A and B are shown apart, each in its own frame.
Chain A
Amino acid sequence: MPDEKPVPSMSSAGTVFHIQRFSIHDGPGIRTTVFLQGCALSCFWCHNPEGSTTHPVLQFYADRCTACGACVQACPHHAHEFRDDVHLFHRERCVTEGACVESCFSQALLLTGRSMTVAEVMAEVLQDTAFYERSGGGVTLSGGEPSLSSAFSGELLAQCKARGIHTAVETCGEAPWASLADLLPVTDLVMMDIKHMVPDRHRAATGKANDRILDNARRLAGTGKPIVFRTPVVPTVNDTEEQIADIAAFIRTLIDQRNGSAAPPADRAHIRYELLTFHRLASDKYRSLGREYRAATLEPLPKSRMQELADVAAHLGVDTAIR
């Protein structure tokens, strides 16, 4: 028998909170981005707060509620109540098994995520094959943090690779190196966030210090994989020239390290940098989760300011783009 490649399994399940087709800002070409639930950081400005917990939670959009009362009947745990015509949701009683969601036809009650097998996700992903082929696109795993569900992520990426689909992983970097490394053989592009270079500041903003992230960044650079480092530029966190220069200087050392390690100079292009524009469009989501949105009062940066910051990074010899 000629050596046959093992057919990757499709049976693992992951908790997926969104699948975005025609995703065009998450890697090359036209892509499908699969968002996995669960993240190790808790950045206060997070655009996807529904993805932060490892398990689905109930979202309640009060403005969509038509007060039909069906959820009150449906919930065995009495988490829904009408008092003086006001719909009260007692989140502390909710065990998130979703009976009320089934009964609500107004989209006022939703579960953040649902368990899907690799096969189910692939069925969705494969619909856009013609678009990936035409545009050089593919699939991006995002989150949350894909390396937290490494078995599922690995299988999904392997399935894509087996079909010749380009793969990318977006990671916050806060993960054991082994679980990131596991994904690399089936990943064509890694997109990793670096949010701050100062450990305390990083902790204040994200809940964790940055030592493991920076360490992972160095190891990743050592592998020769194409990388896009990304910084969500958030006012009060990292929107100064010095802070961006700090990060860019770090990236520059990784580029030099890689070039120095006998890689041809052209390989420089395999490490790029993107500044992500902060927006504060997530307030509805925070409200639906009963969480405070601390970034709600921050002013988004104008394009011109983003350009100034991008120029700072570019001056340090880092290929930089704004998203």
Chain B
Amino acid sequence: MSTALVQELSFRERIAMLRATKMRHTEEKWREIGSLDMDDLPIMLPPPEMRKIVRIVSGSGIVISDALFSNFIPTSNHPSGGFFGARACGENFRALLDIHPPYVDPVSSLAGGYMASFLAYRDPAWNPDCDYAHLHAEQNLYKLHHGIGAVQHFCQDMTIGFRLGWNGLLDQIHRYRGVQRDDEAQELYDGLEQCVLGIQNWIERHAAAARTMAREEMRPELRKNLFELAEMNAALVTRPPVTFREACQWMLWYQLAAKMYNMSGSLGRIDQFLYPYFVADKERGILTDEEALFHLACYFIMDTSYTQLGGPDAEGNDTTNPLSFLVLEAAHLLKIPVNVGVSVGAHTDRRLLRRGVEILFEDKTGIPKFLGVDRTSEGFARNGYPIALGRERTYSGCHWCAIPGREYTVNDCVKINLPVLFDTALRDMMSDPALEKNTTVLWARFTHHLRRAVDVIAQSLDFHMDHMFQVYPELMLDLLCHGPIERGRDASHGGVEFYNLCVDAAGLATTADSFAAVEQRVDRERKITWVQLRQELDADWAGPAGERTRLMMKQIPRYGSGSSRADDYGKMIAGLFTTSVKAKPTPHGFNMIPGIFSWAANIVMGKDVGATPNGRHAQSPISHGPNPDPGFRKDAAPTALAITVAGIQPGYGNTAPMQIELDPGLSKNNEDIDKIVDLIITHFDLGGTQINMNILDKKAILEAHKDPSKYPDLVVRVTGFSAFFASLSPEMRQIVVDRIIAEG
């Protein structure tokens, strides 16, 4: 072996190597399991000798492939073959961790990586004993995404883990075992304990693996790194983290386990809870900015969960600090889909926002996104909470916020498909001879069905809250919440302080445009009769005459054009939806909070709806989030878009995010960057809650659409999340392409 002096690898080189490894893993995933249509999760495939490919239903409802460990079969505790309840879930999760091989990259300052999604081993996922057949009829009629069985989608408080460490958490479980003696509590403690023991064992094996690798590693700086990893992780099996690097490593263990358990993807305000470690280490002279940046990059390579930067403290003062900037720079360095959101409010630091916009234009990865923190905290207060609590609510998911460790939300899991309700109303009107046929009557039927759909959602949520703990409790999130251990109750069953259940509407533009189209073309201009329209819809605008009718219906002043009838309908629908959700809590008394967001589910939700009078074809995607459909105005003016979306906000703390695509050519100099910054701030001034901004390079996107494999690095913001373009299904890619074509 050569003994020549090798140049030490710099941090930047190590990051480039980590990124290359990640890209290799990602491309292997695309090859083995195909398109994903969801957040870019850094999950890796199990080693080939332990790998089994299966077909499952993806998050956006499409059947996709998934890779499982061939050597893990969960133990059932139910005749259905499934496993249910805290004890069975904990034991099986531990068994999965026990066969999960360690993953140590000698280049990274942090150990760990994950290859399994425990959710994929649940079959059946729902306990058939918890029967909700009484709700089926209406859930199906309205095609509701009703939330029964929803997992995670709220946010832990990482500082609990930082304070206690894994042994501290075990102690806590043991202590309360003696206090809460009922069966439900005892079973929960069993489950939680299994999780912690499994994680500790898993970390221990990483420490051992790092030590073995260190002995064989020839490059001195990596050898040193591996020894450090071995030592640090041997300690973190039991004690809490002390240094910045340890805190990053602890956080990574928790997040990896939480991701594996049920894909939990919330991080929250890492620039706040890591800050004390950052400051202390810098004061002791054991950490430089460059090193901190490196640790953060090593972290994001393995976990890209949702993160808020800056934003108000309880009194409303801005919390932006040097670490906020470093987190942004880490995402910039990596150019992978790290889900970072920058806070924008009356008192927030414009420099952070400005830097965010610069990075957005430079990287074109849709990162960061922008958070209207004043609007969401004020809105939350309208539910009857103090504003300080609203400020504590943290961006931690695709379009949503939660109070870390204290609030259960089912955010982004409950969706009402407005176009289905429109179609139901239209069929009602047409089939009832007693009803007059006009838009006013249609609106009345729509109102009826929307209220009914909200009622069905409320009942479904109650059912979920009654039973989820018996099916698949939130073991990983319970560990870092205030209350579940102390009360002996799962977070979904009374474990935490606040319950604010999310109810989102989807397909706003499709519905608003449909109302305006029938009002103009059928009622006012009489260009087509109701009967003819119904026939055209049922025939999906077949034939040349149908196509002409379709174009006629589409060719109206659309939602988003500004002061059109469709804009009026957009506001009326959003208002009706909001008042329906806020009219009363669920029958069991849970507060519900309205939002307007489809996520990437606008594709699968579209499959539930036939042709609609806005000229949309049957089964094609419904409109995205609260956005107008592409082509809503000739000038595609971002200001018109910003005013439209600001004008339909439900206003109770949950969001209706604006999705906006801009041409890279818009930003030619510093002045232009400032204009984009002003666009963002003004949207929030006008009432907006979140902005997902995409800088789309038309040429690259169109070429990548033809052959995605040629552009493995291309990242786009699809919706609340960014993802590698190549990882999207052809349908989802088409949606992105349509947006830029329409923008001209």
Given A66-B544, A130-B686, are A30 and B668 also a contact pair (CB < 8 Å)? no
B675 at the interface (CB under 8 A from A): yes
Q: Which residue of A lies closest to B550 (CB)?
A: A105
Q: Check B640 for interface membership: any CB of A closer than 8 A.
A: yes
Which of B552, B563, B634, B682 is A18 in contact with, Cβ under 8 Å?
Answer: B634
Q: How far is the CA of A127 from the CA of B564 in the complex (A)?
A: 13
A28 cross-chain contacts in B, Cβ below 8 A: 671
Interface code B532-576, partner A: CB below 8 Å = 1, 0 otherwise? 000000000000100110011011000000110000000000000
Q: Is B666 an interface residue (CB 8 A)?
A: yes
Which residues on the A side are within 8 Å of B675 (C-beta)?
Answer: 24, 29-30, 135, 137
Known contacts A105-B555, A321-B669, A322-B668; decide if A70 and B679 are in contact (CB<8 Å): no
Cβ B634 vs Cβ A24 within 8 A: no
A127 touches B562 (CB 8 A): yes
Q: Is the CB of A20 within 8 A of B554?
A: no
Closest to A67 in B: B544
**A125 → B minimal CB distance (Å):** 11
B554 / chain A contacts, CB cutoff of 8 Å: 105
Cα(A297)–Cα(B78), bound, Å: 74
In which size bucket is the chain A interface?
20 to 34
Within 8 A of A (CB), among B638-691: 638-640, 642-643, 666, 668-669, 671-672, 674-675, 678-679, 681-682, 685-686
Hey, which chain B residues are within 8 Å of A212, CB to CB? none
Provide the bound-state CA to CA distance between A25 and B674, in Å: 12
Can you list, as one digit per residue, whether each of B629-643 has a CB less than 8 Å from chain A (1) or not (0)?
A: 000001101111011
Asked if A18 contacts B679 (CB within 8 A), the reply is: no
CB pair B682–A105 under 8 Å, yes or no, is no
Q: Of all chain B residues, which has the CB nearest A322?
A: B668
A93 at the interface (CB under 8 A from B): no
Q: Which of B544, B552, B639, B668 contacts A128 (CB 8 A)?
A: B639
Complex Cα–Cα for A50 and B641 (A): 26
A300-321: contact bitstring with B at CB < 8 Å (1 yes, 0 no)?
0000000000000000000001
Instruction: Tell me, in angstroms, the Cα distance from A106 to B549 when the chains sit together.
Output: 10
Q: Is the CB of B548 within 8 A of A131?
A: no
Q: Is A131 within 8 A of B551, CB to CB?
A: no
Q: Quick one: which of B555, B563, B634, B637 contacts A22, CB cutoff 8 A?
A: B637
Contact between A130 and B682 (Cβ–Cβ < 8 Å)? Answer: yes
Number of B residues contacting the other chain (C-beta, 8 Å)? Answer: 30
The reply to whether the CB of A5 lies closer than 8 angstroms to some CB of chain B is: no
| In the bound complex, CA of A149 to CA of B672 (Å) | 31
B-side contacts of A67, CB under 8 Å: 544
Binary flags per residue of A89-131, CB closer than 8 Å to B gives 1, else 0: 0000000000000000111000000000000000110011011
Taken residue by residue from 27 to 40, chain A's Cβ proximity to chain B (1 for < 8 Å, 0 otherwise) reads as 01110000000000
Residues of B278-309 at the interface with A, using a CB-CB cut-off of 8 Å, are none
**A106 contacts B678, C-beta separation under 8 Å:** no
- The B-contacting residues of A in range 1-38, CB under 8 angstroms, are 18-22, 24-25, 28-30
B669 proximity list for chain A (CB < 8 A): 321
Residue of A nearest to B552 (CB): A105
A78 contacts the other chain (CB 8 A): no
> Are A134's CB and B548's CB within 8 A?
no
Q: Is the CB of B548 within 8 A of A70?
A: yes
Query: Is A68 within 8 A of B639, CB to CB?
Result: no
In the complex the two chains form, is B672's CB within 8 Å of A24's CB?
A: yes
- Name the one of B547, B563, B640, B674 contacting A66, with C-beta atoms under 8 angstroms: B547
Q: Is A323 on the interface with B (CB-CB < 8 A)? A: yes
Shortest C-beta distance, B105 to chain A (Å), equals 39
Q: How far is the CA of A3 from the CA of B516 in the complex (A)?
A: 48
The closest CB in chain B to the CB of A124 belongs to B562
| Contact residues in B for A323 (Cβ distance below 8 Å) | 668
Residue from B551, B643, B666 with most neighbouring chain A CB atoms (10 Å): B551
The B5-36 residues at the A interface (CB cut-off 8 A) are none
Q: B678 — nearest CB in chain A belongs to which residue?
A: A135
Contact of A20 among B552, B562, B635 (CB under 8 A): B635
Write the nearest CB–CB distance from A212 to chain B, whole angstroms. 32
B678–A68 CB distance below 8 A: no
Chain B residues in 8 Å Cβ range of A70:
548
Measured in the bound complex, the distance between the Cα atoms of B197 and A3 in whole Å is: 85
Residues of A within 8 A of B562 (CB): 124, 127
Question: Could you give, for residues 450-484 of chain B, a 1 whenever the CB lies within 8 Å of some chain A CB and a 0 otherwise?
Answer: 00000000000000000000000000000000000
Q: Are B548 and A105 in contact (CB under 8 A)?
A: yes
Of B554, B666, B678, chain A has the most CB atoms within 10 Å of the CB of B678
Judging by beta carbons under 8 Å apart, are B643 and A134 in contact? no
Q: B353 to chain A: closest CB distance in Å?
A: 13
Collect the chain B residues with CB atoms within 8 Å of residue A321's CB. Answer: 669
* Bound-state Cα–Cα, A30 to B638, Å: 11
Query: How far is B562's CA from A30's CA once the two chains are assembled, in angstroms?
Result: 18
Given contacts A19-B635, A22-B637, contact A29 B678 (CB under 8 A): yes
Whether A68 pairs with B548 at a CB distance below 8 angstroms is yes
Question: Which of B551, B635, B637, B671 is A106 in contact with, Cβ under 8 Å?
Answer: B551
Q: Please measure, in the bound complex, the distance between the C-alpha atom of A30 and the C-alpha atom of B672, giving whole angstroms.
A: 9
With A and B bound together, what is the CA distance between A127 and B547 in angstroms?
A: 34
CB of B587, distance to nearest CB on chain A (Å): 42
Determine whether the beta carbon of B551 is less than 8 Å from that of A105.
yes
Does B544 lie within 8 Å of A68, measured CB to CB?
A: yes
Name the A residues within 8 Å of B639 (CB-CB).
21-22, 30, 127-128, 131
A29 to chain B, nearest CB (A): 7
Q: Are A21 and B635 also in contact (CB < 8 A) when A68-B548, A105-B551, A105-B552 are? A: yes
Give the residue name and chain of the A residue nearest to B633 (CB): A21
The minimal Cβ–Cβ distance linking B681 to chain A, given in whole angstroms, is: 6
CB distance from B526 to the nearest CB of A (A): 15
Whether the pair A21, B637 counts as a contact (CB closer than 8 A) is yes
Interface residues of A in 175-231 (CB under 8 A from B): none
Task: Please tell me if the beta carbons of A21 and B640 are within 8 angstroms of each other in the complex.
Answer: yes
| A124 CA to B639 CA, complexed, in Å | 12
Q: Given the complex of chains A and B, what is the CA–CA distance between A221 and B301 in angstroms?
A: 58
Looking at the assembled complex, report how far the CB atom of A323 sits from the nearest CB atom of chain B, in whole angstroms. Answer: 7
Given A21-B635, A22-B639, A22-B679, A66 and B666 contact (CB-CB distance below 8 Å):
no
User: Which chain A residue has the least Cβ–Cβ distance from B547?
Assistant: A66
Given A66-B544, A105-B548, also A24-B685 (CB < 8 A): no
Instruction: Name the distance in Å between A100's Cβ and chain B's nearest Cβ.
Output: 14
On chain B, the residues within 8 Å of A127 by CB distance are 562-563, 639-640, 643
Give A137 to B551 CA distance when docked, in angstroms: 37
Chain A min CB distance to B203 (Å): 50
CB closest chain-B residue, reference A133: B682
Contacts of B671 in A (CB 8 A): 28
- A66-B635 contact in complex given A134-B681, A134-B682, A134-B685, C-beta closer than 8 Å: no
CA distance A22 to B668 in the complex (A): 15
How long is the Cα–Cα vector from A28 to B672 in the complex, in angstroms? 10
Task: Decide if B666 touches A24 in the complex (CB within 8 Å).
Answer: yes
> In A239-279, which residues have CB < 8 Å from any B CB?
none
Q: What is the CA–CA distance of A18 and B551 in the complex, to the nearest angstrom? A: 23
Q: Are B678 and A20 in contact (CB under 8 A)?
A: no
Q: Which residues of B contact A123 (CB under 8 A)?
A: 563
A22 cross-chain contacts in B, Cβ below 8 A: 635, 637-640, 679
Residues of A with C-beta under 8 A to B643: 127-128
B618 to chain A, nearest CB (A): 19
Nearest Cβ distance between residue A44 and chain B, in whole angstroms? Answer: 23
- Whose C-beta in chain A lies nearest to the C-beta of B634? A18
- Distance from A69 Cβ to chain B, minimum over Cβ atoms (Å): 9
A20-B635, A29-B675, A130-B682 known, 6 other contacts, Cβ within 8 Å: A67-B544, A70-B548, A105-B551, A127-B640, A131-B682, A135-B675
Chain B positions near chain A (C-beta within 8 angstroms):
544, 547-548, 551-552, 554-555, 562-563, 634-635, 637-640, 642-643, 666, 668-669, 671-672, 674-675, 678-679, 681-682, 685-686
A-B CB contact pairs (8 Å), 14 listed: A21-B635, A21-B639, A22-B635, A22-B637, A30-B639, A70-B548, A105-B554, A127-B563, A131-B678, A134-B682, A134-B685, A135-B675, A321-B669, A322-B668
3 closest Cβ contacts across the A-B interface?
A21-B637, A105-B551, A135-B678
